[in-house]
A and B are shown apart, each in its own frame.
Chain A
Amino acid sequence: MAELGGMAGATAPERVTYEDRPGLVRLLSTNFFLTLITIGIYRFWAATRLRRYLWSNIRIGGDGLEYTGTGRELFLGFLIGLAVLAPLSIIYVVAERLSLGDQVLVGTLQGLYFLALFVFLQVALFRSRRYRLSRTTWRGIYAGQTGSTWEYLKLFIGYGLLTVVTLGLALPWMHVALARYKLNNTTFGNRTMHIEAKGSALFWRWLVVMVLLVAPLALAVLPNFSALVHPVYLPQPKGLPTLELPHPATLAPGFLSAFSLGFLALVWYRIEAFRYLASRVRLGTMQLDSAAKGMTGIGRVLLFSVGMVAMMIGLGLVFWVLSAVAIPILRGAIAGKSLSITTLGIIGIGIMVPVYIVLLWAMQLAAYCWLWIPIIRHLATTLDIENFPAVNEITQSSQKRPKLGIADSFELGAF
């Protein structure tokens, strides 16, 4: 039997490709509306369908990835999580409600609760990555993730504290350490990935993000600093002028530019970090090489924002014209007693609810079609695999594929 892939000698790097299959809009739409009418229960099947679509669009050496997970698995994981988590969280809610009014107590409780949830979120993210990889195959060979959740959590807490103490400056080291742990524990068949990466390589890029995020905030907050940091519910110090919270409008420009600039910078950083990390990954004798560009991501976000603004303006115009026509007619009808306020309210809600749903649907379509999928496509199609023929030496892992555990599929909406 002729083996085609196994040609020896140096070959050109294999470029990953992305094939846009038809049917995305239909897939997203049925997912959206089925999730809506099942008050969210369909979301597990929706995520599965979307993953199956995205995975098979990504092609390596002419063969698409394959996602073999099922909605039923995710649903079961959710049920188990629910049965376990619900009683725990309800205790928090009641405790929080009972102490409402006591700002200090509420603050402490909330802080503890959200910290616990945040840590739980990291566990769930690590475990759901394990689940996703274990349901990913290429040419019938399965990927996977080894390593212990507990080790990962220790890394997360240790580096997390370091990042907090350094006011965020150490974040690249945390980012790289966690990526290192995840990638060094990522398997494909009988091979384990290997990465050598240092946090310092990402430091100046992260510094750009921090400057763009912090500078506008500082400009907005510093003139009102004393008023903002002094808790308004504590008695005001005697003999000092009364501290008044600044009007929100004076803070808005600073917060708005921090948010938008910071968001753009963050997208840029994430893609730059992806290129750095991906280019340092080896799988056996194969080496990955990424040429992804952060600026491409920024371009995508800007394009998406322009699209959203255009959509909003268009919608606003439609409403403006409609209300200009409808309001005098309705006024006349109410004055003439042919229409009661109640009926009007019901009609109003009857119009607003579908409009709101359609708006949500359009926004979700736009976010996938104009933002997420273009970014995924960019990341995929700039990825080279050097010495690709060595892939033929990879054999199926003899390890057992994980059955799903509680957090394995306590899905958090990410794909």
Chain B
Amino acid sequence: MALSEPPRLAWPGRYSDGRTAAFYQVEARIGEDGLTITGEDGAPYEMWPCDTVRLVDGPDAGGAIRLGRKGGDVRLSVEDRDALRALELHCDALHKGMAEESSWRVIAIWSGAAIAAIAFLIFAVIPFFADHASAWVSPRLEAQLGDQIADFLTSFTVASKDKDHAECTNPQGRAALDKLVAPLASQLSLRNKLRLRVINSDLLNAIALPGDEILVFKGLINFAQGPNEVAGVLGHEMGHLQLDHPMRLVIRESGTAFLIGLVMGDIFGGSAISIAGTGLLVTAFSRDAESAADAEAVTLMSRAGLDVAPFGGLFERLQAKGDADIPIPFLRTHPPSDQRAKLIEAAPPGGAQALTPAEWQNLKAICNPD
């Protein structure tokens, strides 16, 4: 049959009246007014105006289609391949939906409510919890949380060949580190005793954790050109601790991750909770927090009588090395170096070296076997 030939306008069909589950053999005919359904005896049975005819199913492999009338439960099955073509020519609304749908206005209202609820949580509730965390969490719990994250980060960053020697504890190196830290740490008022671990990994990084814990990676100590550069980094991390940044970040991250999981259909939030524990790995403190930590670092160093000038040098060389080479974005959002340079300029010039050259060599060797 050539395609140009007009489709047949009348076809045999099976009709269900929407009141019982029986069906009747009928003839259906499409015309200008609509679809006329006639019983086998030729008596006109029902007329569906064109704008109410809907395709509810098909065509299937055999070309059969099922039609419905909008607003009713009547159904008409037609097995004629011409029927769909003919109906498409006559009835514009054929492919529209059958159901009385809730309007987009209702959808919009509830979308708004859901977005408002989430925004309220993200911008008000979570920050409130985060900022008042220390009022509810005991120092002991915070320290345990920090330890958990530290253990995870350690297992995650240390190469498998160094697994048995993940933490650097060379006694001479440790003594040098303690000497470096003491004048800075004595100025802090922390809830826990400051804990400091050097991790045997080439990562160019240092990180502040909840519970007043700092992790320094070997790569950073090797990269530093003098003790005061390390002192600057440690002072910066201590600034984060003094200002309670890590705990706030952890709470903010877990809450937000959980909400995102909820929106994406993970109602148990399991995946989000497991990711959130490592929130410190994939997120960074805000620029404001970084600037505040920088200011803390400069204050700590100058009060300890140390030369502040090298503090900026390390960061500048890190930046020159290329931000993208830092696998963990922690150091990446550090404030622009001119801002830090201003801070350093404002600090009293001069000052001592934190360690003697011999002690500095010991610190660099802190990851050697004991």
Interface residues of A (CB under 8 A from B): 1-6, 19, 21-22, 39-40, 43, 56, 62-64, 66, 68-70, 72-73, 75-76, 79-80, 82-83, 85-87, 89-90, 93-94, 96-102, 114, 117, 137-142, 188-189, 340-342, 391-396, 410, 412-413
**B116-162 with Cβ < 8 A to chain A:** 116-118, 121, 125-126, 129, 133, 136-137, 140-145, 147-148
> Shortest Cβ distance from A137 into chain B, in angstroms?
7
* B66 interface residue (CB < 8 Å to A): yes
Interface positions of B from 276 to 331, Cβ below 8 Å from A: 276-277, 322, 324-325
Given contacts A64-B66, A66-B56, A89-B258, contact A40 B22 (CB under 8 A): no
In the assembled complex, the Cα of A43 lies from the Cα of B265 at a distance in Å of 9
Q: A63-B23, A94-B255, A140-B74 are in contact. List 13 more A-B contacts (CB 8 A).
A: A40-B265, A56-B60, A62-B14, A70-B99, A79-B107, A83-B110, A86-B259, A87-B125, A93-B255, A140-B21, A140-B68, A140-B73, A141-B20
In the bound complex, do residue B73 and residue A392 qualify as a contact, i.e. CB atoms below 8 Å apart? no
Contacts of B197 in A (CB 8 A): none
The secondary-structure label for the interface of chain A is mixed
Complex-state Cα separation, A93 to B145, whole angstroms: 15
**Min C-beta distance of B369 to chain A, whole Å:** 25
Residues of chain B from 44 to 66 with CB closer than 8 A to chain A in the complex:
45, 56-58, 60-61, 66
Q: Which residue of A lies closest to B130 (CB)?
A: A94
Tell me whether B16 and A140 are in contact (CB under 8 A).
yes
Closest to B143 in A: A101
A20: nearest chain-B partner, CB-CB: B61
Q: Write out the residue numbers on chain A whose beta carbons fall within 8 Å of the beta carbon of B45.
A: 1
Given A79-B113, A98-B136, A100-B144, check contact A140 B75 (CB 8 Å).
yes
A1-B19 in contact (CB<8A):
no
Q: Is the CB of B24 within 8 A of A82?
A: no
Query: A2-B25, A93-B255, A101-B141 are contacts. A341–B325 as well, Cβ < 8 Å?
Result: yes
Interface centre among B98, B110, B322 (most CB of A within 10 A): B110
From B26, B117, B251, contact of A98 by CB (8 A): B251
**B73 pairs with A73, CB closer than 8 A:** no
**With A66-B57, A98-B133, A102-B141 as contacts: A1 and B117 at CB distance below 8 Å:** no
Chain B residues contacting A79 (CB-CB under 8 Å) are 107, 110-111, 113-114
Closest A residue to B101 using CB positions: A72
Determine the chain A residues whose CB is within 8 A of the CB of B325 once the complex forms.
341-342
C-alpha spacing A329/B232, complex, angstroms = 41
Distance, CA A40 to CA B261, complexed state (A): 10
Cα distance A86–B113 in the bound complex, in angstroms: 11
B267 at the interface (CB under 8 A from A): yes
Q: How far is the CB of B159 from chain A (nearest CB, A)?
A: 16
* Known contacts A117-B267, A141-B73: A394-B21 contact under CB 8 Å: yes
The answer to whether A393 touches B20 (Cβ under 8 A) is yes
Within 8 Å of chain A (Cβ to Cβ): is B352? Answer: no
B32 at the interface (CB under 8 A from A): no
Report the Cα distance A275→B332, complex, angstroms.
Answer: 61
Q: Is the CB of A83 within 8 A of B144?
A: no
* Interface pair B267/A412, CB less than 8 Å apart: yes
Kindly identify which residue among A19, A72, A341 contacts B60, using a CB–CB cutoff of 8 Å: A19
Contacts of A76 in B (CB 8 A): 102, 106-107, 110
Of chain A, the residue at the smallest CB distance from B324 is A342
State the Cβ distance, B111 to closest chain A Cβ, in Å: 6
Indicate if B190 sits at the interface (CB-CB under 8 A). no
**B164 contacts the other chain (CB 8 A):** no
Residues of chain B contacted by A87 (CB below 8 angstroms): 117, 121, 125
C-alpha spacing A129/B331, complex, angstroms: 51
Residues from chain B with a CB closer than 8 A to the CB of A4 are 23-25
Which B residues form the contact surface with A (CB < 8 A)? 14, 16-26, 39-41, 43, 45, 56-58, 60-61, 66, 68, 73-75, 77, 97-99, 101-102, 106-107, 110-111, 113-114, 116-118, 121, 125-126, 129, 133, 136-137, 140-145, 147-148, 250-251, 254-255, 258-259, 262-265, 267-269, 273, 276-277, 322, 324-325
Residues in B with CB closer than 8 Å to A139 are: 16, 21-23, 75
B22 touches A70 (CB 8 A): no
Residues B142 and A22 in contact, CB atoms below 8 Å apart: no
Name A139's closest neighbour in chain B (CB-CB).
B16
What are the residues of chain A within 8 A of B110 when measuring CB–CB?
76, 79-80, 83
> Does A391 contact B144, Cβ atoms closer than 8 Å?
no
Instruction: Please state if A396 and B121 are interface contacts (CB–CB under 8 Å).
Output: no
Which of A93, A97, A394 contacts B20, CB < 8 Å?
A: A394
Bound CA span A114–B73, Å: 42
CA of A139 to CA of B322, assembled, Å: 68
Complex CA gap A105/B101 in Å reads 47
* A138 contacts across to B, CB distance below 8 A: 21
Q: Assuming the A-B contacts A86-B118, A98-B136, are A114 and B23 also in contact, with contact meaning beta carbons closer than 8 angstroms in the complex?
A: no
Complex CA–CA separation, A66 to B43 (angstroms)? 29
Say yes or no: A392 contacts B22, CB within 8 Å. Answer: yes
The residue in B60, B147, B251 that gathers the most chain A C-beta atoms within 10 A of its C-beta is B60
Tell me, in angstroms, the Cα distance from A68 to B71 when the chains sit together: 12
Contact B142 A101 (CB under 8 A): yes
Chain A, residue nearest B270 (CB): A114
Which residues does chain A contribute within 8 Å of B24, judged by CB atoms?
1-4
Within the complex, which residue of B143, B262, B264 is in contact with A86, where a contact is CB–CB below 8 Å? B262
Alpha-carbon distance A89/B269, docked complex (angstroms): 9
A6 pairs with B324, CB closer than 8 A: no
Question: Which residues of chain B are within 8 angstroms of A43 by Cβ–Cβ distance?
Answer: 265
* Chain B residues, CB < 8 A from A101: 140-145, 147-148
Nearest CB on A from B291, distance (A): 26
Q: Which of A22, A101, A188 has the most CB of B within 10 A?
A: A101
A173 to chain B, nearest CB (A): 27
Q: How far is the CB of A105 from chain B (nearest CB, A)?
A: 8
Identify the 10 closest CB pairs spanning chains A and B, nearest first.
A101-B144, A392-B22, A79-B110, A140-B73, A139-B16, A40-B264, A1-B39, A140-B18, A342-B324, A394-B21
Interchain residue pairs with CB less than 8 A apart (13)? A1-B26, A21-B60, A72-B107, A75-B107, A79-B107, A82-B263, A83-B116, A97-B276, A100-B144, A100-B277, A340-B322, A393-B20, A412-B267
Contact yes or no, B117 A86, CB < 8 A: yes
| Cβ–Cβ contact B265 & A93, under 8 A | no
Chain B, residue nearest A39 (CB): B264
> Roughly how many angstroms separate A403 CA and B125 CA in the complex, as a whole number?
33
| Structural contact, A142 and B73, CB atoms closer than 8 A | yes
Known: A56-B57, A396-B18. A70 touches B264 (CB 8 A): no
Q: Which of A19, A22, A63, A189 has the most CB of B within 10 A?
A: A63
Chain B residue at minimum C-beta to C-beta distance from A70: B99
Q: How far is the CA of A412 from the CA of B107 in the complex (A)?
A: 20
Flag if A5 contacts B265 (CB, 8 Å). no
